[in-house]
Homo-oligomer: A and B are copies of this chain.
Amino acid sequence: MTDNAGPDGPTQLEIYRRVALLKANDERSRKVILAGRLVMPYYSYRGQEIIPSVMSAVLNDDDYLVTIYRGIHDMLAKGMPLKDLWAEVAGRVDGTCKGKGGPMHLTYPKKGIMVTTGIVGSSMPIANGIAWGSRILKNGRVAVATFGDGASNIGAFHESLNLASLWKLPVIFLCQNNLYGEHTSYERATSVKRIADRAAGYDMPGVRVDGNDPIAMFKAAKQAVDRARAGEGPTLIEAMTFRFQGHVFGDADNYMNKAQKAAAVEADPVPIFRARLISEGIASEDELAAIEAEIERQIDEAVEFALASPFPELSELTTDVYAEGPAA
């Protein structure tokens, strides 16, 4: 029922627009932190930009996303406005969550970004429920749960995939396999060679794909989303990628394999994608440079907006706990 076409030129350019935004935003985040303008726990996604950029190009605006602490790339790709995002990570009232959630709990239902969790594995059970709701409402929306390779070893993964398959839910389990879970390498934590192979244990399609290849990633994402929307059930996608930085910005990352890391950085998917867009005539150097310049400008604006936004009042400490206000 789904064809196997890759993205056309305009779609690729659309994807690149996101990729460039994500990369620039990551670099700016680290710069702002290093400059001491902002203090926050920051989980860099540098190297993983292609995956969510493609996924969001395949999704509709009103499809749902449940993501994790390392998920700012997912959110930006899904359409979270830069200003709201920056104000939130700066802990200001103009943030998506009035500054109360922070970088690990950004939420933006207007673009379907329903939950960001800091608990490994917890995106999946919740995405199931959203997908169940979609199906009852027959609104055609699908839900995507993103998570890491490390998360594929925790109980919630297992329970979620079993339930989703049994219930044939319109959900996509998107594993971003960056080969590390905190300080632990893939092989030291995961007993199976390919996480995608675990899908068979749930009678669910499982596909391992090069998440840094926009064409391959597009095909895999499209197939999964089409399947979900057609009521055929969930898919597990294992998108291979790499985390260029340590687990949390500032850690020494001595636990990472130096050669493996150097090779991955050498094969940075963003400049490769960019070069191909030009070589294939999809966009000119000037066009891309203009896009990138515009992104920088928007980030400038967002950062300044965020840092000028006020902190929340202390009364916020006890609001939003219950609908009615403070209790007990």
- List residues of chain B with CB within 8 A of the CB of A165: 191
Our pick among B159, B192, B197 for the contact of A154 (Cβ within 8 Å) is B159
Our pick among B158, B190, B193, B203 for the contact of A193 (Cβ within 8 Å) is B203
Min distance, Cβ A249 to any Cβ of chain B, angstroms:
29
- List residues of chain B with CB within 8 A of the CB of A200: 192, 197, 200-201
Interface size on A, as a range, is 20 to 34
Interface pair B198/A201, CB less than 8 Å apart = yes
Answer yes or no: A298 CB below 8 A from chain B CBs: no
Our pick among B158, B189, B198 for the contact of A157 (Cβ within 8 Å) is B158
Residue of B nearest to A121 (CB): B155
What sequence of 0s and 1s flags, for each residue 201-236 of chain A, a beta carbon within 8 Å of any chain B beta carbon? 111100000000000000000000000000000000
Interface pair B166/A159, CB less than 8 Å apart = no
Measured in the bound complex, the distance between the Cα atoms of B154 and A200 in whole Å is 17
Measured in the bound complex, the distance between the Cα atoms of B166 and A161 in whole Å is 21
Answer yes or no: A162 CB below 8 A from chain B CBs: yes
Residue of B nearest to A204 (CB): B191
- List residues of chain B with CB within 8 A of the CB of A154: 155, 158-159
- List residues of chain B with CB within 8 A of the CB of A153: 158-159, 162
Q: Is the interface of A mostly helix, strand, loop or mixed?
A: helix
* Known pairs A155-B159, A192-B203 / 13 extra A-B pairs, C-beta < 8 Å: A153-B158, A153-B162, A155-B158, A157-B158, A158-B158, A162-B190, A166-B188, A166-B190, A192-B201, A193-B203, A200-B200, A200-B201, A201-B201
- List residues of chain B with CB within 8 A of the CB of A158: 153-155, 157-159
Answer yes or no: A288 CB below 8 A from chain B CBs: no
- List residues of chain B with CB within 8 A of the CB of A156: 155
Min distance, Cβ A244 to any Cβ of chain B, angstroms:
26
- List residues of chain B with CB within 8 A of the CB of A166: 188-191
- List residues of chain B with CB within 8 A of the CB of A193: 203
Min distance, Cβ A106 to any Cβ of chain B, angstroms:
26
Our pick among B155, B189, B197, B203 for the contact of A201 (Cβ within 8 Å) is B197
What sequence of 0s and 1s flags, for each residue 176-205 of chain A, a beta carbon within 8 Å of any chain B beta carbon? 000000000000111111000110111110
- List residues of chain B with CB within 8 A of the CB of A197: 200-201
- List residues of chain B with CB within 8 A of the CB of A191: 161-162, 165-166, 202-204
19 residue pairs A–B, Cβ–Cβ below 8 Å? A153-B158, A153-B162, A154-B155, A154-B158, A154-B159, A155-B157, A155-B158, A155-B159, A157-B158, A158-B158, A166-B188, A166-B189, A166-B190, A166-B191, A192-B201, A193-B203, A200-B200, A200-B201, A201-B201
Residue of B nearest to A154 (CB): B159
Measured in the bound complex, the distance between the Cα atoms of B155 and A198 in whole Å is 14
Measured in the bound complex, the distance between the Cα atoms of B38 and A134 in whole Å is 51
